[in-house]
Chains A and B, each alone.
Chain A
Amino acid sequence: MMISVKNVSKAYEANVAVDCLNFEVPTGEFFGFLGPNGAGKTTTIRMLTGMIAPDSGEIAIDGWSHSDKSKIARLLGVMPESRGFYNWMTGEEYLSFFAKLYDIPEKYAKVSQLLSLVGLTERKHNRVATYSRGMKQRLGLARALINDPQVLFLDEPTLGLDPQGQEDIQHLLKRLNAAGVTIFFSSHLLNEVASLCTRIAIINRGRLVAQGTIGELQIQAKLPASSLKDIFLALTNPANV
């Protein structure tokens, strides 16, 4: 099992962000993680990536506890919700800096390969400050891939991208998943989630309300042959909670 979450809870003072969450993601799966705004998605991702500690429960990535930061940092690639960049660096310098932090051998070849993969080779000598939002998204994805991660956490990776940019990233993610990378994918673009993910979990108000394939979600939501959007709305509608 690549990701294992057992009875995980997190509260910020009186506000319970995540409440006794349980799920598992097998190795190689393309896992969708959905929820309305404020449902606890980003808090969950931050706990899974070791950025914040849960109040209770156990998290393991490929068998390693999330608190074993040095071990899991090398397994993970993360495109977090916060999208800060060192704007004074060029795209190439930015990736080289992170390659050095991971102590990647042959870092220049790796940086060139990733810049080519995300289509930024022509702009590699330009400062990040001059990049468009979409280009920064692609640079963020290249940074997440710098250490050849076994599991990739993506929080809204196609947000703000034009249709061609979304298509490019989706193709890239499919290729990575086919190569064996486990992908934990959070997005509000439900069509994208439905087309990419093999299994989906939906959380609402910090609690897991459903998980499974789209067929299984349709059964759980008692909405046969309905779209993921209808299922999502039915399961997260305040009137149904």
Chain B
Amino acid sequence: MYKLIWLKELKGELYTWKSTAWLLAASLLFSFTSYLLLTNKELTLLDQTELLWLLGKVIVGVGLLVVTIDASSIISSEFEQETAESLFLTPLALKDFLLGKLLAPLTLWILIYLISVPYIIVASAGSRLALPFMGHVFLLGTLCVLGFILMTFAIALLYRSSKNTLTTAFVILLAAAVPALFAATLKSGSVLTTVSKINPLDNVFSALDNVLVDYQISLGQNWQFYPPLIIFGLVMLGLLSAAARRFRQQGIIRNE
């Protein structure tokens, strides 16, 4: 039954131009970034690996941003537009509802990734980094995006409001992104080192750095960056399960 929800969301998002607008915005942003990296006087002085690293950050960053915004409204809108009651009066189970909803922003991330592929190929021309870079961006990005979707869904089930969900998810995303953008020299303290080790975005950027700058291109050479992302996803899955339990206790319709 989750496929019905997934297809409804995809059709709804494409029909209302919501996803199409995001995909267009993402491709414009990738074009603009690639153009700057390849033509700007100062930026062209960067080493090709540095250039690719920046592009990787932009791809994962744009993906996370778009997916978080999309996931913030995809559940809450059912309550705000009063469609949840008729939906849950059918034999649809909550897990099918959540899985169908989860697949929609995940599909959006995959489309953003596919749009980024030609830019990666152009930016990595002449090096042998295109394939490992694409592979790691996909794996790391997907794990990171999945964790953030699960987190956003948990918040949405608690608030049942797009605005509150978006604000909270955005603050958490920023809290993860800002320290990840600090230079390595600023992460010397024990607290910042620990935060850096558990922060999913930090692990994504460090792994890309390892692949591109240190030429550690195989999965085995980057294994240490994957467990924090998997643990992040599992913790968010646990959070979503707890939110779903609370949601069931409160009832599909929450009378105030």
Question: In the complex, A45 Cα to B144 Cα: how many Å?
Answer: 42
> Please, how many angstroms separate the alpha-carbon atoms of A98 and B86 in the complex?
9
Is there a chain B Cβ closer than 8 Å to A86's Cβ?
yes
Asked whether A53 and B89 contact (CB < 8 A) given A84-B81, A86-B83, A88-B15, the answer is: no
Q: Is B12 a contact partner of A51 (Cβ separation < 8 A)?
A: no
**Which chain A residue has the least Cβ–Cβ distance from B14?**
A88
* Shortest CB distance B255–A (Å): 6
Identify which of A74-82, A159-167, A207-215 touches chain B: A74-82
Q: Which of B165-173, B195-203, B205-213, B246-254 is the interface stretch? A: B246-254
B82 (CB) vs chain A CBs: closest residue? A84
Residues of chain B within 8 A of A17, CB atoms compared: 255
Contact B251 A46, beta carbon cutoff 8 Å: yes
Contacting residues, chain A, for B250 (C-beta < 8 A):
52
- Knowing A73-B91, A101-B1, say if A84 contacts B253 (CB, 8 Å): no
Give the residue of A69, A73, A84 whose beta carbon is less than 8 angstroms from that of B83. Answer: A84
C-beta contact mask, A10-37 vs B, less than 8 Å → 1, else 0?
0010000100000000000000000000
A186: Cβ under 8 A from any B Cβ: no
| Cβ B253 vs Cβ A53 within 8 A | no
Distance (Å) between the CB of A11 and the closest chain B CB?
10
- Shortest CB-to-CB span from A147 to chain B, Å, is 8
Query: Quick check: B256 and A49 within 8 Å, CB to CB?
Result: no
A47 CB, min distance to chain B CBs, angstroms: 9
A97 and B251: CB pair below 8 A?
Answer: no
Residue in chain A with minimal CB distance to B15: A88
Q: Mark B1-42, 1 if CB is under 8 A from A, else 0.
A: 100100010001001100000000000000000000000000
Cβ contact of B4, chosen from A52, A82, A86, A100, cutoff 8 A: A100
| Docked-complex contact A52 and B255, CB < 8 angstroms | yes
CB pairs A–B below 8 angstroms (8 shown): A49-B89, A51-B88, A69-B91, A73-B89, A78-B89, A80-B89, A84-B81, A84-B84
Residues of A within 8 A of B16 (CB): 88
Alpha-carbon distance between A123 and B170 when the two chains are bound, in angstroms: 42
Contact B256 A101 (CB under 8 A): no
Which B residues are in CB contact (< 8 Å) with A43? 255
- The total of chain B residues at the interface (CB under 8 A) is 26
With A43-B255, A51-B88 known, 16 other A-B pairs at CB within 8 A are A12-B255, A12-B256, A46-B253, A51-B85, A51-B252, A52-B253, A69-B91, A74-B91, A82-B84, A84-B86, A97-B4, A98-B90, A101-B87, A101-B92, A102-B90, A102-B91
Interface status of A85 (Cβ within 8 A of chain B): yes
Partner among A46, A49, A101, A143 whose Cβ is within 8 Å of the Cβ of B91: A101
Provide the B224-256 mask, 1 if CB < 8 A to any CB of A, else 0: 000000000000000000000000011111011
Flag if B1 contacts A84 (CB, 8 Å).
no
Hey, which bits of chain B sit against chain A, CB under 8 A?
1, 4, 8, 12, 15-16, 81-93, 249-253, 255-256
Q: For A78, what are the chain B residues with a Cβ–Cβ distance below 8 Å? A: 86, 89
Residue of A nearest to B8 (CB): A97
- Which partner residue on chain B sits nearest A53 by CB separation? B251
Q: Given A52-B255, A101-B1, do A84 and B85 touch, yes or no (CB 8 Å)?
A: yes
Q: Are B88 and A101 neighbours in the complex by a CB distance under 8 Å?
A: no
A187–B178 alpha-carbon span in the complex (Å): 56
| Contact present for A70 and B255 (CB under 8 Å) | no
Q: Which B residues are CB-close (under 8 A) to A98? A: 86, 90
CA distance A225 to B251 in the complex (A): 43
Q: Which of the listed residues A50, A51, A78 has the most CB atoms from chain B within 10 Å of its own CB?
A: A51
Residues of chain B contacted by A69 (CB below 8 angstroms): 91
Picked from B4, B8, B86, B93, the residue with its CB within 8 Å of the CB of A80 is: B86
Task: Give Cα distance in the complex from A46 to B86, angstroms.
Answer: 11
- A102 CB contacts on chain B under 8 angstroms: 90-91
Write the nearest CB–CB distance from A27 to chain B, whole angstroms.
Answer: 20
Residues of B within 8 A of A74 (CB): 91
Say which residue of A50, A70, A85, A88 sits within 8 Å of B93 (CB atoms). A70
Residues of A within 8 A of B249 (CB): 53
A73 touches B90 (CB 8 A): yes
A153: nearest residue on chain B (CB-CB)?
A: B89
